[in-house]
Structure 1
């Protein structure tokens, strides 16, 4: 017997089959709820169960703490209802209009960007075109059925191969293959587009773009989309890494800063050494935002990268620097390691 789920803010309802996760049921029926990893690691799909009960599957403690559970919160990607539910969570407009597909693709190009990042370009079949929102991601479907998620760095209007930025995770099944045996013309299979991290164009607020490492990939797509659409909102990119080599496309960001009106770029290194010859900003990248903009009440923030950076930024910006909670949009780059010790 299916259960009814009501979204408190809009009153919309949908049905969830037995043992089906609330998020997956919503997406299946074209209802846009926020999500990222879909496996209990990132926390993007966190909502409050106003009435009813759910079974919460194993998940990362950083995505949902015990304190949050006691306050009635749940991760909807791995929560199955025990009965009818009323859930309080922000809906996402626009995502349900984009068709999710499973497609084959061919490796068009592999180009090293620094020591541990590859720019991977994928060619779709001649009769296929992938419609997506700037900032979304795709999931590679591996031969054993496992999946690996990567954000698209090329904007939706781009004619040509889809661009991804892949960092080598030594010991990782997929990235070891990318950096070892993958070659041009190899065939891969993926599903997409996925995710609710994308530019909200219905606002005129100035934008803070916050990236760490390859979190730059979807941010790049958002910036290039905004330039293409002639959006005049001020944009500031804060891009952080440990070493200078982690800012693997810094020249591109510097070009934007010179050529794009109302665009600024602030690179930040947390652990530069003498060979970097670094004279720029140092420390945690989200702290650089706070140093420059202690009052974020009039801004929109898009953050992407390591989970610890995303979580720190969301906590500090909203709790201490007046950023409205519903103006923080994030994509936390989780890996299999982030679920190594689920609770």
Structure 2
């Protein structure tokens, strides 16, 4: 068989140490093939920008599509690391990757949704509720995201801010959308969009969700609307009666960026193992802020210098997530496999660095 024939039929992709295997089709990224076949690999943006899907290639060859150097540097690539979200197999491939548990992969669905509620939480954050088709089921892990499919085929990703068990009372799924001036989608959300509008979504996507097979204490780190998936995780913790110690650190530039501060404080009475540390980086005198100041990820290390026995779930701006990972592993002794992240990579972030 020629290599061309082989490529047309696809290649075998094996994952160590789990022993799971799947096939990839010609010109299909390894991650797309894994998602299609229900194989749980870690990932975030699916767009070569966040680095969450980075893993070691033990055998075989791949070619990479466009990606940012901060997600995968030339040095890392030379050392055998790849991004599964933009790597296409050129032969059979063996990967070394953290395996998301088998039950971690829910079916990906594309469906119409109806905007049932729009409610401003702050000047630039809109809470949007989406009603799903009554005759369909939608299953997801608290912390995962959906993609809006726009009319021109462009996609925009937003984390679900509610846990699955709340869907009946919420009437579907809840999203927290920050206005990015000039943004194709968010200008519409904060401009012409009205309740009852029909939008198309696809999901669930992402490997950001609480690992319930651990009993380690948890640090939840959020910046801005990175609170959305963290809120879903908190609802899940409450619903499941999980008693692990949980510390939430939520950072914003100004107090108004902590747009559901009252909701978190009300939860403290119901979750005795939860502590909450709001942090503001650029408070002005008129804000009257008397709480913690500075960078939110550093507040965690100030309170817990030794993170070696913890799990950390970080979500929000890439600079916060990247800084947290570097400092928690380098200074706090956090094991690399206990850091879970979802960096909110915007279109502006992607445009800022040439691929």
Equivalents in 1 of 2:84, 2:52: separation in Å?
Answer: 9
Matching of residue 282 in structure 1 with residue 272 in structure 2: no
In the TM superposition, what whole-angstrom CA distance separates every residue of 1:12-34 from its partner, at most 9, and x where no partner exists?
A: 22211121101111111111100
Corresponding residue of 2:82 = 74
Matching of residue 342 in structure 1 with residue 354 in structure 2: yes
CA contact (8 A) 1:60 1:338 kept: no
Equivalents in 2 of 1:251, 1:40: separation in Å?
Answer: 36
Unaligned residue ranges in structure 2 (runs of 5+): 1-5
TM-aligned CA deviation for residue 5 of structure 1: 1.5
Match of 2:219 among 198, 208, 216: 208
In the TM superposition, what whole-angstrom CA distance separates every residue of 1:194-232 from its partner, at most 9, and x where no partner exists?
A: 111011111111110000000000000000111011111
TM-aligned CA deviation for residue 95 of structure 1: 5.1
1:243-254 superposed matches below 5 A = 243-254=254-265
SS of the equivalent of 1:216 reads helix
In the TM superposition, what whole-angstrom CA distance separates every residue of 1:143-194 from its partner, at most 9, and x where no partner exists?
A: 0111110000011101123110000000000000000000010001100111
Unaligned residue ranges in structure 1 (runs of 5+): none
Match of 2:36 among 3, 20, 28: 28
SS of the equivalent of 1:180 reads coil
CA contact (8 A) 1:95 1:196 kept: no
CA separation of 1:145 and 1:237: change in aligned 2, threshold 3 A:
same
- The normalised TM-score by structure 1 is 0.97
Matching of residue 326 in structure 1 with residue 334 in structure 2: no
Matching of residue 141 in structure 1 with residue 140 in structure 2: no
In the TM superposition, what whole-angstrom CA distance separates every residue of 1:110-164 from its partner, at most 9, and x where no partner exists?
A: 0001110000001112222321110000001110111110000011101123110
Equivalents in 1 of 2:18, 2:173: separation in Å?
Answer: 35
1:290-301 superposed matches below 5 A = 290-301=301-312
Corresponding residue of 2:268 = 257
CA contact (8 A) 2:143 2:161 kept: yes
Matching of residue 51 in structure 1 with residue 59 in structure 2: yes
Equivalents in 2 of 1:102, 1:47: separation in Å?
Answer: 28
SS of the equivalent of 1:291 reads helix
RMSD of aligned alpha carbons: 1.1
Match of 2:17 among 9, 20, 26: 9
Matching of residue 190 in structure 1 with residue 201 in structure 2: yes
Match of 1:65 among 73, 83, 91: 73
Corresponding residue of 1:37 = 45
Moved >4 Å (runs of 4+): 94-97
Equivalents in 2 of 1:109, 1:207: separation in Å?
Answer: 32
In the TM superposition, what whole-angstrom CA distance separates every residue of 1:306-329 from its partner, at most 9, and x where no partner exists?
A: 011111111111122111111111
